[in-house]
Amino acid sequence: MKLRLAFLASLVLLPLLAAAAPAPAVNKPDLIIVSVMSPNYDGGIARVRVRNQGNAPSGPSYLMVQLSGLATGTITVQIPGIPAGQTAPHDVQMPHSLAGVHYLVLADRANTVNESNEQNNRVSGTFGGKP
């Protein structure tokens, strides 16, 4: 009888213990956009900082900057791989002044990097105006 109770208890407790165990760390990169700004609105330079917050290096990928509103256009550039935990700035030359222009920036535009989170690659906003 004791053996039967111990067996039944193990059937109940083992799944609970397995569910409480932490998931193993995923060894993948995770690219995010940290910031978008312009050091020169009239010169059309979009400075994008991309961070790999994952725990593995990323390979090369594509960074897209899309403009809408006062100026429109899309530029996609290839960027080199980023080591785990590092941030890399990238200057993207746009064909228009950026003052007051809306932007959408997308890291890993072509989905060439197998990331731990594919849903956090985009940021949108508006460049400020000139003083």
Mean pLDDT, residues 102-110 taken together: 97
Sequence letter at residue 23:
A
Q: Output the DSSP codes for 77-124.
A: EEE----TT-EEEEEEE-SS--TT-EEEEETTTT--S--S-TT--EEE
Q: Per the structure block, which two tokens stand in for 25? A: 């760390």
More confident: 26 or 2: 26
Tell me if residue 55 falls in helix, strand or coil. Answer: coil
pLDDT band at 6 (very low <50, low <70, confident <90, very high): low
Supply 85's token pair: 């935990």
Phi and psi, residue 73, nearest 5°: 155, 160
pTM as predicted: 0.79
- pLDDT over 80 at 103, yes or no: yes
Domains of the chain by start residue, with CATH: 31-126 (2.60.40.10)
DSSP H or E run through 125:
strand 122-126
pLDDT band, very low/low/confident/very high, at 71 (cuts 50, 70, 90): confident
Instruction: Please identify which residue in the block is written with the tokens 């109770």.
Output: 5
pLDDT by residue (tens digit) across 82-94? Answer: 999 999 999 999 9
Spatial contact of 121 and 33, defined as CB atoms under 8 Å apart: yes
Return mean pLDDT, the chain.
Answer: 86
C-alpha atoms less than 13 angstroms from C-alpha of 25 in its C-beta half-sphere: 7
Pick from 127, 77, 68, 72: which is nearest to 107 by CA?
Answer: 77
